Amino acid sequence: MRSFAWLAALWVCGAAAAAGQTVRIDAAPQHVSNRVRPSEALGAGVDRLPYGLADKVLGPEVVSRLLETGWQPVTYRQNTELKIEAWHWNPQGTWSGAGRGYFVGEARPGPEPLMHSWGYPLPRRGVTRDDGTDNSGYSRLTDGDPASFWKSNPYLSHAFTHEDDARHPQWIIIDLATRQPVDAIRIDWADPYAQDYLVQFWTGEDPIKRPAAGSWQLFPAGRITHGQGGSSLLRLAQSAVSVQFVRILMTRSSDTCVDQDRRDQRNCLGYAVRELALGTVSADGAFHDLVRHTPDQDQTATYCSSVDPWHQAADLDEHAGEQVGFDRFFGSGITRGLPAMVPIALLYSTPEDAVAELSYLKARGHPVAYVEMGEEPDGHYTTPEDYAELYLQFAAALHGLDPTLKLGGPVFTGQNEDVQSWADAEGDTSWTHRFVEYLRRRGRLGELAFFSFEHYPFDPGKISWSSLYDEARLVTHIMQVWREDGVPAAVPLFITESNITPQYSEIYLDVWAGLWLADYIGAFLAGGGDAVYYFHYIPAPLGSGAHGSAGTFSFFAADEQQPVGQPLAQYFAARLINLRWLQPGGGVHQFFHAQSDIEDGAGHELVTAYPVLRPDGSWAVLIVNKDQDNAHRVRVRFEGRGGAAQSYAGKVSATVFGKAQYQWHPAVRGGEARPDGPELTREIIATAGTTYELPAASITVLAGHLAPLH
């Protein structure tokens, strides 16, 4: 049964609030903290789907349910790059060779709409696992196959950068898992090979996870010049050095061609290695290899700076799911007819293919608001200079097609702190600062129309109720970090993918998830954020996350037969945000700061509030009570506007959603919400003395007009 007892206590005309329990709003016109248009700022994301699911979930019945949440613009997420795959956004296109090479999608629309698109795992991969991929592939550097090889991205070589290759050194790393004695390395080079390179070891704990906490040191005999390729066993030191991570840093290429194929210049640029071995040479001259060579995730792990986007038709993997075809995406109604944010593949693609994609969208008349460049370069350990160089090459090509395109990135993984990279010559370890400076030094910072990043603030399995107190600080802090790193104030900050944690967790099903969503969106917009996209718009069946509990990124419980089931906590929270707090459409909303004096014994702010002056002149306040056990009665005061303090007066709409309306009950195979909503709304008549009851563990939206306090 649903409880309506809160309605009687929501407001008490003329009653005194508990001592000190006041939400104070700095409503001074000169203190506006942000201005946004919901039709541009509050959206959701559509990502890769299991094959065949798009047929079920992009029909009118399901889409209409999704639109009930009020999210407006849509960002099309580009998942193939996370899996180290080339993206055939159009299955029809042209190969640079006969069914192999570098693929460019067909830019001219054909008679049939694009309903599906595919990913092709890259065969010249040099990473075993990273923070972007699903870790189902493997590196060719330690796979034991003499016919396979890793090759770096040719677009980072002198023919495309117009700089010496030493300005964009490419690298591969071997991770021995534990410290081992090492005095020799064997490198089986392919073409093109490195003529000049360094072999180094890491002095810190982990160069991948903690790149600023250590340095690369040269082995005593680790500097090689005028290398000749082939299979080379190098003695690195007379006495073995205890190491875990070894890096080969390549600075000059032979520019010799893969399989002597000179028909495409890209075959002759960069660096290529067939296999790596690392270990010691005994007194009898025998080499003892520490590397496990196997074509799976159990191989000795390697990392690489980049991967050649070369692939072949036989690499298609339909079982990995599908990127929804562009025509199906735009034609489904899920975009509401608003311009969408679309991606281009960058780390594993070509500028020509990006231009073809945007040409196709333009020819079809699909409206595009922004173009996001690549996907999570930090998760693939791409250096800021390499990403920036690719960004500028692709930007030049795209702006050659259409100078008005709004391009941005870098689409960071969900970070709470600055993204770090190995120190450069000046000792700078900030990825963002170096990326921005690369664009600035080349006079092309104007190519960055927006700065995008993801927001997944918590680790699954490590979330407690008290984690809720951290969100406002986390999201405002990371925006401050990007600004301090040099992102210009005029460049908008977009969170283009976000939710609680990057993996399924039962926390998504609890009322906690709704409170987190409201607090997160409120803090981001009040703190100066420009656009935020909820992930994931498309419903998916409840699945098990890393810690075994059922969860879903979406706001509906679903199964294989029922694509839209019971609405979940974030469904109701989204409706309060998009339909009750803000007014849908393109009207300008002005945000202000607020503060409550309701804290627990540890100093946590239990009540957070986010006021907004709406286009029609009314004021709406989104209030989150994070106290899971206690209601709080508050007075709401607006200060600094027109001299005297003001309060709500006359008709006020009050909408609430909390644990009295929704409780999740887990079961072995998912569970159910009981009660399961809806959010509750009442119109009240407010006066200067009205106080408002905030139920325990709840979101409340108050909306109305003001009058001076007397």
Write out pLDDT tens, residues 28-72: 999 999 999 999 999 999 998 888 888 888 999 999 999 999 999
Query: Which pLDDT score, from 0 to 100, does residue 545 have?
Result: 58
Q: Are strands 670-676 and 93-95 parallel, antiparallel or unpaired?
A: unpaired
CA torsion sign for 47, 51, 54, 56 is: negative
CA pair distance 193, 176, nearest whole angstrom: 24
Is pLDDT at 13 greater than 50 in this prediction? no
- The model's pLDDT over 432-454, given as tens digits with 9 standing for 90+, comes to 999 999 999 999 999 999 999 99
Closest by Cα among 294, 275, 270, 305 to 173: 305
DSSP 451-463: EEEEE--S-TT--
Encoded tokens for 634:
């508050």
Maximum separation of any 2 CA atoms in the chain, in Å: 97
Average pLDDT over residues 611-631: 97
Q: 0.85 cut: is pTM over it?
A: yes
End-to-end Cα, the chain, rounded Å: 42
Closest CA to 699 of 21, 6, 72: 6
What pLDDT score does 495 carry? 98
Q: What is the mean pLDDT of residues 548-567?
A: 81
pLDDT of 560 higher than 80: no
The single-letter DSSP state of residue 387 is H
Instruction: From 531, 577, 245, select the one nearest 381 (Cα to Cα).
Output: 245
Which part of the chain has CATH 3.20.20.80?
35-119+318-581
To which residue do tokens 């040269």 refer?
218
**What rounded mean pLDDT belongs to the chain?**
93
What was the pLDDT predicted at 476? 97
Exposed e or buried b for every residue in 460-476, given b needs 16+ CB within 10 A? beebeeebbbbbbebbb
CB 228 within 8 A of CB 271: no
Question: Which two three-digit tokens encode residue 698?
Answer: 């709840």
* pLDDT value at residue 120: 95
Q: What is the pLDDT of residue 11?
A: 40
CA of 28: how far to CAs of 20, 31, 702, in Å?
22, 5, 19
Domain 35-119+318-581 has CATH 3.10.20.30: no
User: Could you tell me where in the chain the CATH 2.60.120.260 domains are found?
Assistant: 150-308
The pairing of strands 241-253 and 116-121 is unpaired
Enumerate the CATH 2.60.40.1180 domain ranges in the chain, comma separated. Answer: 5-32+592-708
Taking only the tens place, the pLDDT of each residue in 392-425 is 999 999 999 999 999 999 999 988 999 999 999 9
Yes or no: say if 139 and 243 are a contact pair by the CB < 8 Å rule.
no
Task: Write the pLDDT tens digit of every residue in 70-79.
Answer: 999 999 999 8
| Residue 139 contacts residue 127 (beta carbons within 8 Å) | yes
- In CATH, what is the architecture of 5-32+592-708? Sandwich (2.60)
| Cβ atoms 288, 281 nearer than 8 A | yes
Yes or no: say if 411 and 451 are a contact pair by the CB < 8 Å rule. Answer: no
* pLDDT classification of 8: cutoffs 50, 70, 90: very low
Instruction: Give the pLDDT of residue 49.
Output: 85
Q: Which range is least confidently modeled, 275-289, 631-645, 652-666? A: 631-645
* All residues at 6 or more sequence positions from 588 whose CB lies less than 8 Å from its CB, including other chains: 35, 36, 37, 615
Distance from C-alpha of 621 to C-alpha of 609, rounded to nearest angstrom: 6
pLDDT-based confidence at 1, cuts 50/70/90?
very low
Apex CA 371: angle with CA 112 and CA 319, to 5°? 50
The rounded distance, in Å, linking the Cα atoms of 316 and 119 is 6
Instruction: List, for residues 450-501, the tens digit of each pLDDT value.
Output: 999 999 999 888 899 999 999 999 999 999 999 999 999 999 999 999 999 9
- Polymer length of the chain: 710
Per-residue model confidence as pLDDT tens digits over 287-325: 999 999 999 999 999 999 999 999 999 999 877 788 899
Amino acid 259: pLDDT? 84
Tell which residue, 427, 478, 473, has the closest CA to residue 451: 478
Pick the CATH number of 150-308 from 2.60.120.260, 3.40.50.300, 3.40.309.10, 1.10.1370.30: 2.60.120.260
Upper half-sphere CA count for residue 72 (Cβ side, 13 Å): 19
Strands (E), 545-639: 550-551, 589-591, 593-596, 607-613, 619-625, 632-639
